[in-house]
Amino acid sequence: MTTILIIVGAIVLVVLVWLVLTYNGLVRLRNEAQQGESSIDIQLKRRADLIPNLVEAVKGYAAHEQEAFERVTAARAHALEARTLGDKAAADGETRSALGGLLAVAEAYPELRAVESFTLLQTELSDTEDKIAAARRYYNNVVQRYNTKQQSFPASAIAGTFGFAPREFYRIEDDAERDPVKVEIAG
């Protein structure tokens, strides 16, 4: 009888340890995903803060390129207003496209490319774009691990019981936003 109680106790202990480890693993991955999304937000905000300076630098040399300035300004406003991950991804694509157009306009003005402040802004923007891409990759990697773990049996039973829900990946939804930027410079 005591042997049976010891075996049952050991089985119960193993199940409890597994439950705790699985639950804690899901919590850790959920928190990593939240941190990853926050990192994306920080880099998107950094880019949004660079945009007004970049627009002002280009305006001094290409004041007649009003459409490019308005497009970048509108994209920045959408980026700052985005709240959901899908909205952030859409605004990110719109901003990248608009910035590509603005930088293409700037390329038409050699005297602008020679200005140190513009070159510094371009370098900062390039660095920020690299950091946004890294933050997106990190976030999507964590989301993939989190979703896989919480959807795999037997962890799915714990995930369902404790309300762990799948997270969405950070992706560009509009196929047109994946295409290269096409810029026509009036002149």
- Identify the CATH number of the domain in which residue 142 sits: 1.20.1440.20
Report which of residues 123 and 108 the model is more confident about: 123
**Is residue 38 in some structural domain?**
yes
Q: How many residues does the chain have?
A: 187
Task: Band the pLDDT of 81: cuts 50, 70, 90.
Answer: very high
Name the domain count of the chain: 1
> Is the predicted pLDDT of residue 128 greater than 90, yes or no?
yes
Is 148 contained in some domain?
Answer: yes
- One DSSP character per residue, 75-107 reads HHHHHHH--SHHHHHHHHHHHHHHHHHHHHHHH
Least confidently predicted of 40-49, 111-120, 173-182: 173-182
Q: 55 or 37: which carries more pLDDT confidence?
A: 37
- Tell me what pLDDT residue 185 has: 42
Please check whether residue 61 is in contact with residue 111, taking contact to mean a CB–CB distance below 8 angstroms: yes
User: Cα separation of 75 and 69, whole Å?
Assistant: 10
pLDDT for position 173 = 60
Specify the DSSP class assigned to residue 177: G
Hey, what's the torsion of the CAs at 148, 150, 155, 158, to 10 degrees?
Answer: 180
Measure the CA–CA gap between 87 and 94, rounded to whole angstroms.
10
Cα 142 to Cα 178: distance, rounded to the nearest angstrom:
23
What does pLDDT average to over the chain? Answer: 87
The rounded distance, in Å, linking the Cα atoms of 27 and 46 is 29
Look-up of token digits 């040399």: 61
Residue 12 within any structural domain of the chain: no
pLDDT at residue 187 is higher than 60: no
Does residue 84 form part of some domain?
yes
* pLDDT of amino acid 186: 43
Does residue 48 have a pLDDT over 70?
A: yes
Evaluate whether residue 103 is within a structural domain. yes
